[in-house]
Chains A and B, each alone.
Chain A
Amino acid sequence: MRISRISAQKSTTEEGKIDLSILDPLIQKYKNKKGNMIPLLQGTQETFGYIPTNAFLKISSETGLNLSEMYGVATFYAQFRLTPVGKYVIKVCHGTACHVQNAKAVTEMIKEALKIGDGETTTDRLFTLESVACLGCCSLAPVMMIKGEAYGKLDGTKAVKIIKNIRIQESQSS
């Protein structure tokens, strides 16, 4: 999972449009504080949904943090993303309890339905599919989480139905 995240293609055209000045308060807050690297990266990801290349450069030049160390940290932890994500991130739990209750089938069915692989985003930027380790709702296994809401006791068909409903809601509201 990690390697694909590092080497994934980034669309540089889109990054040009990002307004990085909204990071200023965050940088001011953590500048010169010890142990500030992870909170800075977490704050950036919260703002943009991922960490744009330009944000790395900006944080580095304004705080003096070493660029290579920042990249090292960002690629070490599973939380950080270097590519943009869809509006809805589908986190399918693959903890032990979910695994023995056939979480694999849930992921497979979603992959088929959305025509994307694990860690990828649909072309309309609506969904990103992620496999995650344990969401801590083991008693409801298998579980997936979309926008902080957990859906339990799934099978592939149920999961796909939930996603289809979101897509319908989206097309109606737009």
Chain B
Amino acid sequence: MGTIVVQLIISGILMGMVYALVSVGLTLIFGVSRIINFAHGDFVMVAMYAGYLLNQYWGIDPYLGIFIVAPGMFLFGLAIAYVIVRPIIGAPQVAQIFATLGLGLVLQNCALFYFGADFRSVTSIVSGKTFRTMGLSFPVASLVAFAVAVLVVIALYLYLRYSYTGKAMRAVAQDRRAASLMSINVSKIDFLTFGLGSACAGIAGALLLPLMPVYPSVGLNLVIIAFVIVVLGGMGSLWGALIGGIVIGLIENLSAFYIGSDMRQIAYFIVFLLVLLVRPVGLFGVKGSERVGE
């Protein structure tokens, strides 16, 4: 009994970290540009299909594929930011919500168009291997995903904390107008943030590829999880996304085991509604951030 609980908790943390990486991209874009990207999950889907294609045509391992997929998704993010996000920054809320929703619809159905609705999966060098210790066993793929996700989040944190551009991003997040008065090129920062957020989604997609099959609507499930995490952790907060991701990973795993796998979605939706009810700013959110978008 004890080992099962420990096993569940650790698997939850491992998976939660990948969810956290998806959410970090979302929360970064929100924090800096005040744009909620409803298509974020579909970005992960695009990255997963990219990793799949690299594997199918050139036999590149999904983990090696990160070095192609992540820069690719960065450029993809820049292009999307130029065409779709630029006009909706500061536009009415309805435009922000539905423009990204429309983008998600387009991406999902493009994937359906090219790949069909089949589930596709990729085998990596670590597929099927498990790591055993003290009566516990974990797939190596989720350990790798955990480690890479942790590294990426730490790197992102250091970038935001110490680099000049990172500081500029935080300045824009705090006050757009003041930042522009300090001669920060706000629109450039917006582009860069969107690119970085998309690259996070790209890395998360590459890490998820050996763990779950890819299909056109995989993003919907992921974006809902990411939103729950971001709201739980607090909009715009990097550490919030991390803690939120782990909490959701735990809830998902434990509820799937104890109540049934149908119910795990209900479990995190209820957590989501409760957080909104009790503490709408989330665990680490800045006070008033839930009012953004007025």
Genuine A/B complex: no
